[in-house]
Amino acid sequence: MRKTVNTSSRITILLTGIAATLFSLWYGQNNGLLPVAASEDASQVDGIFSLMMTVATGLFLLIQGALLFSAIKFRRRKGDETDGPPIAGNVPLEIAWTAIPTVMVLLISVYSFDVYNTMGGLDREASQDPGPQKVSYRSGQHPGSELLAFDPGQKYLALGVGASPQQKEEPEEPLPVEVNGIQYAWIFTYPDTGVVSGELHLPVGRQIDLKITAGDVLHAFWLPEFRLKQDAVPGRETQLRFEPNRVGEYSVVCAELCGAYHGVMKTTLHVQTPEEYEHWSQEQQIAQADKLENSVAATPNSRSASEFLAPYAERMGVESQTLEQLKASPTASASN
Amino acid sequence: MTTQTEVSTGAQPPEPEVEKQRTWRDYFTFNTDHKVIGIQYLVTSFIFYLIGGALAGVMRTELATPNPNFVQPEFYNRLFTMHGTIMIFLWIIPAGAGFANYLIPLMIGAKDMAFPRLNAVAFWIIPIGGLLLLGSFFVGAPQAGWTSYPPLSLLTGKAGEELWILSVLLLGTSSILGAINFVTTIWKMRVPSMGWNDMPLLCWSMLATSGLILIGTPVLAAAMILLSFDLIVGTTFFNPTGGGDPIVYQHMFWFYSHPAVYIMILPFFGIISEVLPVHARKPIFAYRAIAYSNLAISFLGLLVWAHHMFTSGTPGWLRMFFMATTMLIAVPTGIKVFSWCATLWGGKISLNSSMLFGMGFISAFLIGGLSGVMVASVPFDIHVHDTYFIVAHLHYVLFGGSVLGLFAGIYHWFPKMTGHMLNETWGRIHFALTFIGLNLTFLPMHELGLLGMNRRIALYDAEFQLLNLVCTAGSYLLAVSTIPFLVNAIWSWIRGRQASGNPWKALTLEWQTSSPPAIENFDEEPVLWSGPYDYGIDVLSADSEESVEELLSEVQADVR
Ligand SMILES: [Cu+2]
Ligand SMILES: [Cu+2]
């Protein structure tokens, strides 16, 4: 049997291995693939990504390197009709490539578990399933408290990402916002002030508690810069709790297929300084009060999807035809 | 050729039917020969691959620009629904069944499958199901995605959705019938001397695949029937307006559809395990580890379904449980990848088309596997779920994995199936175009997803346009890549160089008969003279120039 690898190539392989390891460690940290992180939770998730990217880069280089090396070095020479060496296994090697990946995925699992717990994913109030509730509201109406599920201790239950163990200690109450997903818009209601808006405004440095529902079909509330996503399920409230730590404008995206215009179901999240946020909130309250005086019967909640979309449609590049279709969209039929 | 000797061993009375040849007409009939059925499967599924690919081409053209200007958004949703359904149920799953049908009886030395008539029924359901599905374009094709989540699937057109359900039910039935046949055949019909651990690895793969099909598909069928009731009769199993629970549908759907990923990849794991040793002239590394890891994947594969629901209505503990099981499944998969690399290492590799696709398979599947571990992590998956990151991941697994494995198999067994060699130059061009096109199309999608582009949208933010243009260019390259293959396959089938019984000097039993094999497979009971991957024995026999064929005839002479 011929030796497949001699000493000098052993050294080359060793050096390449070290270089690949160093590169993996560097690339895991500096890949720049993710958008900005606008909360502490998001940075935590990015930490997992860094670790996984390091491991993945290492394995990528190892396997692709081995393939490329084999394709060049172990190519059959012209006229050589003999077989390779009859090596059918190597127990220590097999144990190594079973054990090392097992340890690695366990490590990633534990790390992920820890981060998920820190994010509040295992908050008892957010991680128990209250089961489905019958949808009894009519189209366009925001679901009321009949949808809320309570545990025996009269504590509010909704699936999703809840308060982190650390947040639970804090005395400050989170800012509640009700999120309703309908084809094809998000409607945000601030129960403290009664403000209803098509864009989400939040103060920086304060805990936010989003209660998410859907009015017709499944949607998913996604904040890419916060690495948070939660499906909006008709008949089942879900929640997301987080704390923005960076002022700026971020996108709010619907990530669950919800119909033909799923792609336009987007809006903006404005994370503002507390003063700016207060200012905006005041303005909205005054504007809505004026409106209420002008139209006796209208409540902000009864606006339909197309009405909500109209102001944003132009900015989003939606053609008028799209809006026409929206008006005839099955929103109404969904809950009738 | 050893197998063409006309000496009768006495077990089989010499019949004139040995002379009978297949004609092209046989392939259009209800034929019970597993080889005819295997080719029927492969050709039919390839036609659906072209259809599914054409739909993808239209989608990528639409996505070249951020605004919907090529097709209407509603039609776009129909396109990706049909694309997904066709590629899964009418291309990859039946193509895997096609290989298994053709090869398993030959590999275990049997004359046919255990239930030949059932086998033909299983095949003929496929074109019916496929035509039904395509027919939905005339009544408004389904537009709720291949996942068909309610309530959306209940609100987007009854006729198309119901046709989709019926088609999936039919194709599921076909797949169950096939699975029953594979298990029975492998279990009962091996040549007497072939023990479990002498089986070619494709047999192990198909055992694992069939197990998944038999356990998973009935649950999918149940979900489809309930969905049908909701759709037609107006029951509310999954409809929240009547107190139903859409999350239950998701559990039922993914209980099948996660294992379906393994139903789509395991047969090609088997094919790769056959292809690599032959063209590297080295035994498969760690036979038992590869064989049993199929079973481990199969078992774990039944316990990971809710990783598709990490952002859905699932409680935290459940998300954690399914994260752990999903992470674990990387271990048996990793064992396979390492073993394949070790098989190549130190071998004498012929870089022919089959081997190129085989190595391309490892390379691309690796990327899908690594991103698979990433999305198993709940906090990270919450970010990328339902984004282009997932689209990238699943295509690296199903295109980079299954489809490259499929082509490796076609280049490897085409001589056996048709009796003609494929043209190598065009095969290599096919590989180069496919491999470059694949990476160009799907690699940028990872970044799109991370940045914030959600999937299943006809219109997107202008900031994503550049990467989308790259993807579209790649998809055109993929479209072009099928041309050299098609021309090569058709030309070679008719005019290609004649193939000997064993052009690759391979050791598994299918190569012990003529190419194409006789109607009853073997003129005489085949002899299991070596393990399926015992390459390198001639090296030990001190520089002897004895070829495998000569060795083989020697052993056969001994037996006689
Ligand atoms: Cu939506
Ligand atoms: Cu899965």
- The predicted-structure confidence for A260-297, as pLDDT tens digits, reads as follows 999 999 999 999 999 999 999 999 998 888 876 665 44
Give how far B125 is from chain A: nearest CA, Å: 30
Q: CA-CA distance, B315 to B313, in Å (whole number)?
A: 7
Tell me the two tokens of residue A99.
């054990």
In chain A, the largest separation of any two C-alpha atoms, in whole Å, equals 95
Q: Is residue A1 over pLDDT 70? A: no
B557: left (phi over 0), alpha (psi -120 to 50) or beta: alpha
- CA-nearest of A127, A135, A217, A194 to A165 is A127
Q: CA-CA distance, B352 to B506, in Å (whole number)?
A: 15
A88: left (phi over 0), alpha (psi -120 to 50) or beta: alpha
- Are B397 and B365 in contact, with CB atoms under 8 Å apart? yes
Q: Is residue A195 over pLDDT 50? A: yes
Q: CA-CA distance, B373 to A69, in Å (whole number)?
A: 26
Which of the listed CATH numbers 2.60.40.420, 1.25.40.10, 1.10.150.20, 1.10.3720.10 matches domain A127-294? 2.60.40.420
**Is B331 in Cβ contact with A263 (below 8 Å)?**
no
Q: What pTM was computed for the model? A: 0.88
Worst-scoring range by mean pLDDT, A282-291, B64-73, B147-156, B198-207? A282-291
**Which residue's structure tokens are 């175009």?**
B433
- Are A233 and B246 in contact, with CB atoms under 8 Å apart? yes
The pLDDT-based confidence of A126 (bands split at 50, 70, 90) is low
Q: Is residue A215 over pLDDT 80? A: yes
Least CA distance to B309: which residue of chain A? A231
Instruction: Using the mean position of ligand 2's atoms as its centre, give its distance from the Cα of residue A206 in Å.
Output: 36
Q: Is residue B11 over pLDDT 50? A: no
Give B389-416 pLDDT, tens digit per residue. 999 999 999 999 999 999 999 999 999 9
Which pLDDT belongs to residue A290? 80
Q: What is the mean pLDDT of chain B?
A: 90
The pLDDT-based confidence of A329 (bands split at 50, 70, 90) is very low
Give B356-395 pLDDT, tens digit per residue. 999 999 999 999 999 999 999 999 999 999 999 999 999 9
Burial B221-246 (b: 16+ CB within 10 A, else e): bebbebbbebbeeeebbbbbbeebbb
- Whether residue B549 is contained in a domain is answered as yes
Burial of residue B192 (CB within 10 Å: 0-12, 13-18, 19+) is exposed
**Is A131 in Cβ contact with B457 (below 8 Å)?**
no
Annotated domain spans of chain A: 2-72+93-118, 127-294, 300-335
**Residues 24-83, chain A: which have Cβ within 8 Å of B?**
33-35, 44-45, 48-49, 52, 55-56, 59-60, 63-64, 66-67, 70-71, 74-77, 80-83
**How many domains does chain B contain in total?**
1
**Is B316 in Cβ contact with A126 (below 8 Å)?**
yes
CATH of the domain at B396: 1.20.210.10
Whether a cis peptide bond, with omega within 30° of 0, leads into B516 is: yes
Instruction: Using the mean position of ligand 1's atoms as its centre, give its distance from the Cα of residue A78 in Å.
Output: 60
Q: Is residue A144 over pLDDT 50? A: no
Report ipTM for this prediction.
Answer: 0.89
Give residue B419's Cα distance to chain centre.
23
Give B116-167 pLDDT, tens digit per residue. 999 999 999 999 999 999 999 999 899 999 999 999 999 988 899 999 999 9
- Are B161 and B192 in contact, with CB atoms under 8 Å apart? no
Which pLDDT belongs to residue A127? 60
- What residues have a C-beta under 5 A from ligand 1, the ion? A 219, 254, 258, 265
- Whether residue B414 is contained in a domain is answered as yes
Give percent of chain B with pLDDT exceeding 70. 92
Q: DSSP labels for A162-217?
A: ---HHHHH--SPPEEEEEEEETTEEEEEETTTTEEESSEEEETTS-EEEEEEESSS
**Is A119 in Cβ contact with B538 (below 8 Å)?**
no
Instruction: Using the mean position of ligand 2's atoms as its centre, give its distance from the Cα of residue B125 in Å.
Output: 27
Give how far A284 is from chain B: nearest CA, Å: 28
Q: CA-CA distance, B464 to A55, in Å (whole number)?
A: 28
Secondary structure, 3-state, A29-95: HHCCCCCCCCEHHHHHHHHHHHHHHHHHHHHHHHHHHHHHHHHHHCECCCCCCCCCCCCCCCHHHHH
Pairing type for strands A200-203 and A266-272 reads parallel
Q: Which ligand is nearest to the CA of A219?
A: 1
Domain range for B552: 29-559
Tell me the two tokens of residue A318.
């939606």
Neighbouring C-beta atoms of residue B539, cutoff 10 Å: 18
- Are B264 and B92 in contact, with CB atoms under 8 Å apart? yes
**Is B457 in Cβ contact with A263 (below 8 Å)?**
yes
